Amino acid sequence: MEGAPSLLCHNSPSSYSSNPNHSLKSLPSSSPSFLLFPSKHSSIKTHQANSRIFSLNKERSMRRDSNLNLEVSPHRAVAAVRLLRVEQGGAFTDLLIEKGRNSATNEMDYVERTLGFRTRDLDDRDIRLVTDVVGSAIRWKRYLDHLIMSLCNEEKTFRDMEPLLLQILRIGFCEIIKLDMPAYAVVDENVRLAKVALRPGAGNLVNGILRKLVLLKGTNSLPLPKLEGDDRARARALAIIHSHPVWMVRRWIKFLGREEAVRLMNWNNSDPSFSIRVNTWKGYTRDDLVTQLNTLKVPHEISTYNDDFVRIQRGMQIVIQAGLLKEGLCSVQDESAGLVVSVLDPQPGETIIDCCAAPGGKTLFMGSRMRGQGKVLAIDINKGRLRILKETTKLHGLDGVVITCCADLRLFSEKNLIKSDKVLLDAPCSGLGVLSKRADLRWNRKLEDLEQLKLLQDELLDAASRLVKPGGVLVYSTCSIDPEENEERIKSFLLRHPEFVVDPVNGKIPPDFITEKGFYSSNPVKHSIDGSFAARLIRSLHHPVL
C-alpha cells in the first residue's frame, strides 16, 4: 500500500469539492530584517540597498499613517468589508480566527482598498466583536433585510441600495436587535462609517432608519410577518422570522414537523460551541488539556460522548492565541466527527483509506488511534488543503502513519488494485448539519444542489467500495441531516452492491446515537453537537463482485 499512491498522484483531477474554503490572500512579505543591520564587513552596495529599503518602508509607513482614520470604529469597518467579501464570494465566515501579524495586516489592507482609509489595528476586543457581528449579521440576514426594507420609505430604496450601505445597515440592526449594544453608540458609529466610507447623504439615511428601529424596538412593535395563510405562506413567514431559506424550512417541516423544524432553526441561530480533541499520540492526556484550559481561564466541560474531547462554549480564540493548536496539543474537532471515527473503529496494524480526507480532522484522529502501527492513505482532490493536512500530520507526529495523495477518487479506484482493511468516505454534502458553525452556508445552498450532490455521492460510494478487501469495512458519512443524502444513499448503494451488508454500529458509539437500522446519526437539537450520519458496511468474503 505504501508505494501505491504514486500510481495516481499525478492525475489531473476534476473538482468535486462542495465546500471550498477561501482564506485571506497573503501579501508579499517584507524584506528580511537582517538586511537592515549589515555587519561591519558589508559592502557599500549593501549599505546603499539597505538605505533604499529603509526609505521605501518609511514611505510606505507614512502613506499608511496619512490614510489613517481614528474616528471610525475599527470593528465596524472591518466587519462591513468582511461582509462584503463573504457576499461577493471572496471569503467565508470563519468563526475561529487566528490573530497574527499577517492576517491583521491583510484585514486592514482589504479595508483600505475597499473604503479608502485605514483604522487603528484591531485589539483582542475588536477581534471578538468582528467575529460576533459578522457571524450574527450573516446568520440573521433574511430577518434583518425584512426589517430594513420595512423601515425604508419605499421598497425601491432597499432594492437599489448599494452593497456597502446595506452591510452598514445590517451591522447596525444586528448590533441593536441581536447583540443588545447601546443604541446611541450604534447609531452614532454607523452613521459616521457611512459618511466617511460613502458620503454625507448615506450617513443621513442610516441615521433615519436606525432611529426608526430604536423607536420600534422600544415599543416592542417590530414589523414581523404573521403566521397565517396556507402552508407556503406560513413557511415564508417562518423563513423570515428564523432567517433561513424558504426551501430549507419547507423541507424540514416535511421531514421533521413544524415544531422540530423551529427547534432546529433556533439551534442554527444560537452561538456555536466548539470541541477540541487532545492529541494522545504525542503523549498528552485530557487531564493535561483541562489543566491548560484552567490556566487560561477558559470555561469548558468534559465530553460525555468521547474520552478524548472537551467542549468549549466561550474562549476558543484564547485557546488559538495561546498556541495550543500550533504545539500539537489538540485539534479543533466536533464530537460528531469523533463519533464517525469510532464507527470506523481503526485498529493498530490496519491499512485504512480516507477517501475525501482534507482538511484532515478525521485522518488525524484515525492515525492517533493506530498507535504508530499501520497506514492511513489520505486521498483528496484539493492540493492546497492536502498540503495543509500533510503539514499538520508532521505537527501531530503522525507522518510515519499517514500518507497523502492528491487524486480524484473515481479515477484512483479504477486504476489502482489496492484493497484495504477499512475505507472511510466522508462525502461532500450539503452541510445541513453544521449550519450553527457555518453561518454563510445556508445562503450558499440551493435545492438543486442536493440533486447534484446525490449523484456525486453515489459515484464516490461506488469508487470507494472498489478499495475494500473481502471482509473489509466501508464507512459512508456526511455532515448532513437530510435523509436523501444519508439513509437513501445507503439504500441505493446496497441495491447496486449486494456484496455489501450493513454492520450495525452497536457497541462502537453511545446507544443514543444508533438508529433502528443500525446507523449512526447525531441530532443537533437533541445532542447539542453537529448533525452527522455514518453507515458501517462490510464486504462479503464470498459474494461475487458485480
pLDDT tens for 101-160 read 456 667 888 899 999 999 998 888 898 899 899 999 999 999 999 999 999 988 899 999
Residue 380 has which C-alpha cell? 483528496
pLDDT band (50, 70, 90) for residue 273: confident
Percent with pLDDT over 90 in the chain:
76
Q: What does pTM read for this prediction?
A: 0.86
pLDDT given for residue 66 in this prediction: 64
Element (H, E) at 529: none
- The gap from C-alpha 49 to its chain's centroid, in whole angstroms, comes to 44
Q: Which CATH class is domain 274-332?
A: alpha beta
Q: What is the mean pLDDT of residues 158-184?
A: 97
pLDDT tens for 44-82 read 544 555 556 555 555 555 555 568 888 999 999 999 999
pLDDT given for residue 313 in this prediction: 83
Residue 145 has which C-alpha cell? 433585510
pLDDT tens for 351-406 read 999 999 999 999 999 999 999 999 999 999 999 999 999 999 999 999 999 999 99
pLDDT over 80 at 32, yes or no = no
pLDDT given for residue 52 in this prediction: 60
The residues with which 425 forms a beta bridge, in sequence order, are 476
Residue 190 has which C-alpha cell? 454607523
**Residues near 377 by Cβ (< 8 Å), separated by ≥ 6?**
1, 4, 5, 351, 352, 353, 354, 403, 405, 418, 420
pLDDT over 70 at 543, yes or no = no
pLDDT band (50, 70, 90) for residue 315: confident
Residue 187 has which C-alpha cell? 447609531
Q: What is the rounded average pLDDT for all residues in the chain?
A: 87
pLDDT given for residue 367 in this prediction: 96
pLDDT over 60 at 30, yes or no = no
pLDDT given for residue 541 in this prediction: 85
pLDDT given for residue 321 in this prediction: 86
Domain-wise residue ranges, the chain: 74-218, 231-269, 274-332, 344-539
pLDDT over 90 at 316, yes or no = no
Binding residues for S-adenosyl-L-methionine: 356-362, 380, 408, 426
Catalytic option among 152, 355, 406, 479? 479
Q: Which CATH class is domain 344-539?
A: alpha beta
pLDDT given for residue 252 in this prediction: 97
The residue assigned the cell 405562506 is 233
pLDDT given for residue 5 in this prediction: 39
The residues with which 502 forms a beta bridge, in sequence order, are 537
pLDDT over 90 at 224, yes or no = yes
**Residues near 391 by Cβ (< 8 Å), separated by ≥ 6?**
none
pLDDT given for residue 107 in this prediction: 80
pLDDT given for residue 299 in this prediction: 95
Q: Rg (Cα) of the chain, in Å, rounded?
A: 26
**Residues near 145 by Cβ (< 8 Å), separated by ≥ 6?**
158, 166, 170
For 117-209, strand residue ranges (E) read: none
**Could you name the CATH architecture of 74-218?**
Orthogonal Bundle (1.10)
pLDDT band (50, 70, 90) for residue 84: very high
Q: What is the mean pLDDT of residues 235-250?
A: 98
pLDDT given for residue 47 in this prediction: 52
Known catalytic residue at 479: yes
Q: How far apart are CA 519 and CA 356, in angstroms?
A: 20
Q: What is the mean pLDDT of residues 239-252?
A: 98
